[in-house]
Structure 1
Amino acid sequence: MDLKTDFDTDLKTELINRAENLTDLVAGEAADTDRRGFVSPAVTEAFCDAGFMKILVPKRYGGYELDVDTMAGVVRTIATSCTSTAWVLAFYIGHNWLHALFPERSQDEVFAERSFALTPGTFAPSFTLTPTAGGYLATGRSSWNSGAAGAGWFMNGGLVKVDGQPPTLRFFLAPKADVTVIENWDVAGLRGTSSHDVAIDGVFIPEYHTVDAGDVLNGTSPGAALHANPIYSIPVIPFIVGEILPVAVGTYNAAAKEFRRVTKDRYLSQTGARASSTQTARINVGKGDAGAALADSMLDSYLNVLANTDPALLRDPVTRGKLKAQGAVITDFCGSGINQLVSAAGANAYRNSSPLQRHFRDINMMRVHATLDVERATETYGEVLLGLPPQAPI
């Protein structure tokens, strides 16, 4: 792997400092973000102006071409103020990396205007791609398109079906103008992510705006051949885990900090004594802070492996299965820690005015995400360890 230049190191520090400077803005809008269901245009534009979306865009297109550690540092920082906002930011930054895996002509078009795009999407095979001259006709509907409210493009998965041949999966891009956003995001957690359904009906998708799913999963995409930086050869699932794991860790840090504040201010209704006078409260404050610090360490360990392992080694199924399982276990650890804190915080923690109830709802929504579900991820890892074919993507 190439050594970082001083310029890259300074820029990474500067970007994380910019994220720190935006935490008050994000926190000030967190309750409204949760109520209205989307990140405000003002916050999104502040992120764009800060340069966050360009962190993983290739330099040839005006990006910074930095590393997953920089992305994680920015996302984790924002997550301490609002989980939903950090979730959307993580996908916007990460999907610019995904854009860099598509054919060169696609990147030329997508990065032409601002050197980045705002692109939600999901890789589930929700669409049918019917071959036609120069590309495909896309039809279908997908869910979980986080950040749909601010999107300029959408990235989804489509099955190519040709008579007499097994279907193949391709990832494809469609501009917002060709997509119908179905505003149906009505959920208990991550409520501010505008993860709406989208529908496409017979829209033409040029061949150059598609990429073979297997190549993206394996780190052998057209972008991997186009860009010399090995970051564009990372298999997609370990990358996605590194993209969203900082959201869970940042949320745990926020919950531990808020629990400590609540404990200092809280009086017990039955006795009138300060909550901090009880041994149980002091144990939970200490356990919460220690647990959040441990989650930070586990995140750093994950990112270190992702950033410093040759992409060719990351293609090994056991390595990929292990990384996915570790990401899910870390998220589960964060969820268990937050749940314990909220349970110990008293009934007022469940008021809508309390940030703790948002942390509780958001982390438990994250725990059942397809990539972070601990039972599915660890089962998949067990399968590859036993020499069995994995039933879920790694």
Structure 2
Amino acid sequence: MTTTENAVRAAAAPSESEVTPALLIERAEAMVPGLVARQHETERRTYYAEDTHQAFRDAGFYRVTVPKRYGGYEFSFDTFLQIAMILTRACASTGWMYCLGAAHSLFAGSMFGEKAQAEIFGAGDFIAPLVNAPYGTARRAEDGGWILDGVWRYCSGAPYATHLIGNTVIVGDDDAGNAGRADDADDAAPPRRLLFIAPRDQWEMLDDWGGQLGLKGSGSHSIRISGGRIPEHFGIEVNFEEISVTDGTPGRELHEHPQYGGAPASSMALEGAHIAVGMCQGALDAYTELMFSRTTILPPFAPRAQDPDYQLWYGKASGMIDAAETLVLAASRRWHELSEQPVGAFTAEEDLRVAITCREATELAWRAVDEILQPTAGSPAVREGTRLERVWRDLSTGRTHASSAVLLTTVANRGYAQLKLHRR
């Protein structure tokens, strides 16, 4: 039996009716040593192990934000985010894969109708990568459902996923018939889009992950659908980036917790920010070990923990990472407060405000690692396979995610300014 299995079983004594957010967080913390020890193994496999997945299931990690009416805990999203941050601090690949697979029970429980939710949450645990870029195509089936074809990339969480939440272009009707024709480019209407959820039996995972610089174990494989069929109620005709909750959501009407009426764009920014801060906390943990195990390069060759320069660097980086954590926790609190207000309060402006706060937290934490911890750790500390080297690779790769690198630094800034200034 592995360290991870022992830890969760020791912590899982209470019956499920007695499970609390604090207990789930305790279970996550108990898994940290085992996850740290298995980072190299996770990278080689390209996703976390089957016994780790089972430990997460036993701990209830895949039911945190699954609605109560379908057997979930319906705990607040910030409980989920704290668990994700703890796991990411231990192993960035594991935390990334867990968070970006399990987080979207909140999205599904918010945006899809009652009939769809009853079916997709029927098995209890819920893991679904969410790809907001429009890949592939969808066309109407004779029974009114949808037929899907295409390859969806960067599906973090795919190895153990129960579903895929994807976006695609609708083809085969008059509205979308001219899409892509160069001669009609100026006159053609934009192609209609479909937000869909596809069960596991309708797709296959491709063996195409692991060759990247970092996050090699994040299970971010591609998913291929060839003639996959889903019922009509598993699709919503909407452009993902234009989703608004100002008029309410199906989940707000269905469930007790108001978080199912929260804005999805900022909830996803919160996911990324908690992951980034967790990674940087892991980097600081590795640097802390070096403070006691390594000496200065000049006489009297004292432990780094006793050296004024290393103390200064350590204190500066610690403060930056702590400040970043404070920011993401405050952003999460703001997201929940907005969700609890009457329908209409969570405006597009507020959505972007939370999202750009998350971006600033991520930038602050990254600077602590990139400008202080990584360069002052020394070359031996960033040799291939060391913990700090791995975290730096993972952080560098995480920063190339389109949401962090492009959308939150361009579209979000402009959009927030336009909405804010328009009110004056």
Q: TM-score, normalised by structure 1?
A: 0.89
Does structure 2 conserve the Cα–Cα contact (< 8 Å) formed by 1:331 and 1:367? no
Note the C-alpha offset of 1:333.
Answer: 1.4
Does structure 1 conserve the Cα–Cα contact (< 8 Å) formed by 2:277 and 2:321? yes
| Aligned residue number for residue 86 of structure 2 | 77
Note the C-alpha offset of 1:388.
Answer: 7.7
| 1:141 maps to 2:151 | yes
Identity score, percent: 24
| Aligned residue number for residue 174 of structure 1 | 198
Residues 29, 311 of structure 1: alpha-carbon distance in 2 compared, 3 angstrom cutoff: farther
CA distance in 1, matches of 2:401, 2:18: 32
| Aligned residue number for residue 347 of structure 1 | 379
Q: Deviations over 1:207-262 (max 9, x none)?
A: 11122445883134433333343211111111112223211111211211221210
| Aligned residue number for residue 242 of structure 1 | 270
Note the C-alpha offset of 1:48.
Answer: 1.1
| Aligned residue number for residue 190 of structure 1 | 215
Among 84, 92, 114, which residue is 1:104 paired with? Answer: 114
| Aligned residue number for residue 154 of structure 1 | 164
| Aligned residue number for residue 411 of structure 2 | 380
Among 334, 359, 363, which residue is 2:391 paired with? Answer: 359
| 1:289 maps to 2:313 | no
Note the C-alpha offset of 1:149.
Answer: 1.5
Among 206, 214, 232, which residue is 2:260 paired with? Answer: 232
| Aligned residue number for residue 201 of structure 1 | 226
Does structure 2 conserve the Cα–Cα contact (< 8 Å) formed by 1:102 and 1:223? yes
| Aligned residue number for residue 358 of structure 2 | 327
Does structure 2 conserve the Cα–Cα contact (< 8 Å) formed by 1:237 and 1:324? yes
Q: Report 1:121-140 matches (<5 A).
A: 121-132=130-141, 133-140=143-150
Residues 10, 300 of structure 1: alpha-carbon distance in 2 compared, 3 angstrom cutoff: farther
Residues 156, 305 of structure 1: alpha-carbon distance in 2 compared, 3 angstrom cutoff: same
| Aligned residue number for residue 217 of structure 1 | 243
Query: Could you say what the CA RMSD is over the residues aligned between the two structures, in angstroms?
Result: 2.4
Gaps of 5+ in 1: 1-6, 390-394
Q: TM-score, normalised by structure 2?
A: 0.83
Amino acid at match of 2:396: N
Amino acid at match of 2:276: A
Note the C-alpha offset of 1:311.
Answer: 6.9
Among 265, 269, 281, which residue is 1:253 paired with? Answer: 281
Note the C-alpha offset of 1:36.
Answer: 2.0
Q: Deviations over 1:154-175 (max 9, x none)?
A: 2211122331454222221222
Residues 217, 164 of structure 1: alpha-carbon distance in 2 compared, 3 angstrom cutoff: closer
| Aligned residue number for residue 304 of structure 1 | 333
Residues 255, 313 of structure 1: alpha-carbon distance in 2 compared, 3 angstrom cutoff: farther
Note the C-alpha offset of 1:102.
Answer: 1.7
Residues 46, 316 of structure 1: alpha-carbon distance in 2 compared, 3 angstrom cutoff: same
Note the C-alpha offset of 1:195.
Answer: 0.6
Note the C-alpha offset of 1:270.
Answer: 6.4
Amino acid at match of 2:40: A
**SS in structure 2 at match of 1:348:** helix
Q: Deviations over 1:278-315 (max 9, x none)?
A: 43212111112222211221111111101111374564
**SS in structure 1 at match of 2:195:** strand
Residues 34, 20 of structure 1: alpha-carbon distance in 2 compared, 3 angstrom cutoff: same
Does structure 2 conserve the Cα–Cα contact (< 8 Å) formed by 1:313 and 1:319? no
Most deviating of 166-175 and 55-64:
166-175
| 1:21 maps to 2:30 | yes
Among 76, 88, 91, which residue is 2:97 paired with? Answer: 88
CA distance in 2, matches of 1:354, 1:138: 43
Amino acid at match of 1:16: I
| 1:12 maps to 2:21 | yes
**SS in structure 2 at match of 1:145:** coil
CA distance in 1, matches of 2:412, 2:45: 38
Most deviating of 171-180 and 271-280:
271-280
Gaps of 5+ in 2: 1-15, 177-188
Does structure 2 conserve the Cα–Cα contact (< 8 Å) formed by 1:252 and 1:292? yes
CA distance in 2, matches of 1:314, 1:280: 49
Note the C-alpha offset of 1:367.
Answer: 1.7
**SS in structure 2 at match of 1:327:** helix
**SS in structure 1 at match of 2:401:** coil
